Structure 1
Amino acid sequence: MMASSSSLLQSLHYLQRSYSESLQSSHHHRARGFLGERFLNLSSQWRVYKSDAPFKRRVTCIEWHPTHTNAVAFSSKAGDILLWKYDELGNDFTSDPNTLIKGIGYGHGSVSSMKFHPKNPNCIYTTSIDGTFRLQDFTGKHSNVFLDTQNYHFWWVSFDYCLDYNLLFVGGNTGKGALLSTDGKVIKEFKKLHKSKIKHAQFCHAQSSILTTSSVDRTVQIWDVRMLREDQLGTSVKPLSTLKHNAPVSSSHFDPFSGTRLLTTSQNGELRVYDSFNMWTEPTVTIEHAHKHFQHLTDITATWHPLYDNVCVIGRYPRTSADKQIRGVDLISLDSGKKAGHIYSPHVTGIMSVNKFNRTGEVLASGEGCRILVWKLPSGLEFKRQVNGSDSTSVPGLSGEASTGARRKRKREPSKDNTAVKKLKQKMACEAVTVTTIRKRKK
Structure 2
Amino acid sequence: MKEDSQKPKENTMCKRVLRPRTAALTNPSQKTSHGRGKMPTEIFPENQPTLETSTNKHRLQKPATDVNDTVWKLPEGMKSPSIPAVNPFGLRSCNMVHRLYHASLSISQGSRLKQAVVQPYIQQLRNFRIQHTTSPFDRRVTALEWHPTLPKTLAVASKSGDLIMWNYENTAKFNLSKGVGKGGAITNMTFDLMDPSGVYTSSNEGTVCRHCLGKDGDRHIFLDTHSMDRWYCSLSANYARNLLIAGDNSGNLTLMERKSGKRLWTRRLHKSKATHCEFNSRCDWLLATASTDKMVKMWDVRMMSDRKSALYILHHNRPINSAYFSPDCTRLLTTDQYGELRIYAGPLWDRMERSISHPHRFFQHLTPIKATWHPLYDLVVVGRYPDENFPSYQEEESRTIDVFDANSGDMVCQLLDPSVSGIISLNKFSASGDSLASGMGYSMLIWTDVVRLQQIQSEKLQKTPQENGSDSRVSRLPLSNPAPRRRRRRRRDEDDDIGAMKQRLKGKMAKR
TM-score bracket, shorter-length normalisation = 0.7 to 0.9
In structure 2, the partner of 1:223 is 299
2:231 aligned with 1:162: no
What SS does structure 2 have at the residue aligned with 1:284? strand
In structure 2, the partner of 1:6 is none
Per the TM alignment, residue 236 of structure 1 is displaced from its structure 2 partner at its CA by: 4.7
In 2 relative to 1, CA 325–247 (structure 1 residues): closer, same or farther, beyond 3 Å? closer
Distance in 2 (CA, whole Å) between partners of 1:293 and 1:45 is 30
In structure 2, the partner of 1:400 is none
2:180 aligned with 1:104: yes
In structure 1, the partner of 2:379 is 311
2:338 aligned with 1:262: no
Q: Contact 1:305–1:311 (CA<8 Å) still a contact in 2?
A: yes
The count of aligned residue pairs is 343
Identity score, percent = 37
Give the aligned residue type for 2:428: K
Per the TM alignment, residue 379 of structure 1 is displaced from its structure 2 partner at its CA by: 4.9
Per the TM alignment, residue 32 of structure 1 is displaced from its structure 2 partner at its CA by: 6.7
In 2 relative to 1, CA 245–214 (structure 1 residues): closer, same or farther, beyond 3 Å? same
In structure 1, the partner of 2:310 is 239
In 2 relative to 1, CA 268–88 (structure 1 residues): closer, same or farther, beyond 3 Å? closer
Per the TM alignment, residue 365 of structure 1 is displaced from its structure 2 partner at its CA by: 0.3
Q: Give the unaligned 5+ runs of structure 1.
A: 1-28, 90-95, 230-234, 383-393, 398-443
Q: Contact 1:44–1:344 (CA<8 Å) still a contact in 2?
A: no
Per the TM alignment, residue 254 of structure 1 is displaced from its structure 2 partner at its CA by: 1.0
Give the aligned residue type for 1:117: D
Residues 31-430 of structure 1 aligned to structure 2 (within 5 Å): 33-87=115-169, 97-106=173-182, 108-141=183-216, 142-229=218-305, 235-257=306-328, 259-276=329-346, 279-308=348-377, 310-320=378-388, 323-380=395-452
1:356-376 alpha-carbon deviations (Å, 9 max, x no partner):
001111100001100111000
Q: Contact 1:178–1:186 (CA<8 Å) still a contact in 2?
A: no
In structure 2, the partner of 1:403 is none
Give the aligned residue type for 1:126: T
Q: Contact 1:50–1:375 (CA<8 Å) still a contact in 2?
A: yes
Q: Contact 1:113–1:126 (CA<8 Å) still a contact in 2?
A: yes
Distance in 1 (CA, whole Å) between partners of 2:387 and 2:419 is 21
In structure 2, the partner of 1:24 is none
Per the TM alignment, residue 33 of structure 1 is displaced from its structure 2 partner at its CA by: 4.9
What SS does structure 2 have at the residue aligned with 1:285? strand
In structure 1, the partner of 2:86 is none
Q: Contact 2:233–2:246 (CA<8 Å) still a contact in 1?
A: yes
Per the TM alignment, residue 182 of structure 1 is displaced from its structure 2 partner at its CA by: 1.1
Per the TM alignment, residue 324 of structure 1 is displaced from its structure 2 partner at its CA by: 4.9
Q: Contact 1:378–1:395 (CA<8 Å) still a contact in 2?
A: no
In structure 1, the partner of 2:89 is none
Q: TM-score, normalised by structure 1?
A: 0.73
Per the TM alignment, residue 381 of structure 1 is displaced from its structure 2 partner at its CA by: 6.5
What SS does structure 2 have at the residue aligned with 1:60? strand
Which 4+ residue blocks in structure 1 deviate beyond 4 angstroms? 29-33, 321-325, 394-397
Q: TM-score, normalised by structure 2?
A: 0.64
Per the TM alignment, residue 156 of structure 1 is displaced from its structure 2 partner at its CA by: 1.1
1:50-107 alpha-carbon deviations (Å, 9 max, x no partner):
1111111111011000100100111111111121111269xxxxxx82211111112x
What SS does structure 2 have at the residue aligned with 1:42? helix
In 2 relative to 1, CA 54–288 (structure 1 residues): closer, same or farther, beyond 3 Å? same
Q: Give the number of the structure whose residues are more often strand, by fraction.
A: 1
Distance in 1 (CA, whole Å) between partners of 2:367 and 2:334 is 16
Q: Contact 1:131–1:150 (CA<8 Å) still a contact in 2?
A: yes
Distance in 2 (CA, whole Å) between partners of 1:369 and 1:147 is 29
In 2 relative to 1, CA 33–396 (structure 1 residues): closer, same or farther, beyond 3 Å? farther
Per the TM alignment, residue 190 of structure 1 is displaced from its structure 2 partner at its CA by: 2.8
Distance in 2 (CA, whole Å) between partners of 1:353 and 1:217 is 22
In 2 relative to 1, CA 324–44 (structure 1 residues): closer, same or farther, beyond 3 Å? farther
In structure 2, the partner of 1:407 is none
In 2 relative to 1, CA 274–157 (structure 1 residues): closer, same or farther, beyond 3 Å? same
Give the aligned residue type for 2:238: C
Give the aligned residue type for 2:265: E
Distance in 2 (CA, whole Å) between partners of 1:324 and 1:138 is 43
Give the aligned residue type for 2:346: S
1:262-287 alpha-carbon deviations (Å, 9 max, x no partner):
1110112100001125x222311000
Per the TM alignment, residue 223 of structure 1 is displaced from its structure 2 partner at its CA by: 0.4
Q: Contact 2:303–2:309 (CA<8 Å) still a contact in 1?
A: no
Give the aligned residue type for 1:186: K
In 2 relative to 1, CA 324–129 (structure 1 residues): closer, same or farther, beyond 3 Å? farther
Q: Contact 1:109–1:129 (CA<8 Å) still a contact in 2?
A: yes
Give the aligned residue type for 1:60: T
Distance in 1 (CA, whole Å) between partners of 2:113 and 2:451 is 23
In 2 relative to 1, CA 52–324 (structure 1 residues): closer, same or farther, beyond 3 Å? farther
Distance in 2 (CA, whole Å) between partners of 1:60 and 1:348 is 18
Structure of greater Rg: 2
Distance in 1 (CA, whole Å) between partners of 2:327 and 2:184 is 31
Distance in 2 (CA, whole Å) between partners of 1:194 and 1:184 is 26
RMSD: 2.3
